[in-house]
Amino acid sequence: MKTVPACLIFCLLIFSGGAEAVQSVSPSRRITMDYDSREQLDQVLARLAPSALGQALNRVFLGTPEPTTGGPGHGAILDRLFQRVQMILDMPRPQLTITIRFHDDARGLQQAYQTLSGLHASTPAFYWQKTRTIHINSQAATLGMLAHEMAHAVIDNYFVIRPPGKIAEMLCQFVDKEVSRGNL
Ligand SMILES: [Zn+2]
C-alpha cells in the first residue's frame, strides 16, 4: 500500500473538514477523544451509556460506578469498554493508548478513510493502526461497534507477529457479540 507522510495526513484532516477537531482525554488518560464539538461528544456518550439493567449488572459484577457525561468522569464509559474488551479477549494491554475520532456523519468518516487509505468504502467505523485511531460515525456508533474496533486495536498491539486478518476479524466479531448482549 502507498504510504502517505503523517504530517500530510494531519494537514489534510485539519483542512478538509472545515471545523477543527477538539480533543479531550478519558479519566484513565488512555483514550483520547477527538471530536468536532462538545455537543457532538455529549450526545454520542449519552447514547452509548448502558441501559439501567446493564448498569446494575456492572455494579454487581465489576463494581464500577455509573458512567457520567460532563465533569471529571467524562468518557468513563469508553475506559470501561476498553477494559472489558481486553477482558473478553484475555489480552491485557494496560499501557495501550488509543484515539477515537468521532466524525459528525458518514460523509466525514468516508472522507477520512479515503484520505488515509486512498480507497472508497462505506464503513460505519474503522481502525487505523499507524496512528492507533478508531474512526467512527458518531451518529451510527454503538457499543458493539466501538468494542469491535477496540478489539482490533488490542489484537494489533498484543502479538509480536500479528495474526492473519480473518482470524483477527473473527475475534473482533466475538467481542462485538459479547458486548452487544448488554453486559458491559
Ligand atoms: Zn473488523
User: How far, in Å, from the CA of 184 to the mean position of ligand 1?
Assistant: 19
Instruction: For residue range 70-99, list pLDDT tens digits in order.
Output: 454 678 999 999 999 999 999 999 999 999
Instruction: For residue range 30-41, list pLDDT tens digits in order.
Output: 999 999 999 999
Whether residue 135 contacts residue 125, with contact meaning beta carbons closer than 8 Å, is answered with yes
User: How far, in Å, from the CA of 130 to the mean position of ligand 1?
Assistant: 16
Domain boundaries, the chain: 21-180
Worst-scoring range by mean pLDDT, 32-41, 58-67, 70-79, 121-130? 58-67
Query: Which amino acid type is present at position 14?
Result: I
Whether residue 140 contacts residue 106, with contact meaning beta carbons closer than 8 Å, is answered with yes
Query: Which amino acid type is present at position 18?
Result: G
In 3D space, the residue among 85, 46, 92, 44 whose CA is nearest the CA of residue 66 turns out to be 46
Residue 164 contacts by C-beta under 8 Å, 6 or more apart in sequence? Answer: none
Strand-pair partners of 35: 22
User: How far, in Å, from the CA of 72 to the mean position of ligand 1?
Assistant: 31
The per-residue pLDDT for 11 is: 38
CATH number for the domain running over 21-180: 3.40.30
User: How far, in Å, from the CA of 163 to the mean position of ligand 1?
Assistant: 13
Whole-structure pTM value: 0.80
User: How far, in Å, from the CA of 81 to the mean position of ligand 1?
Assistant: 16
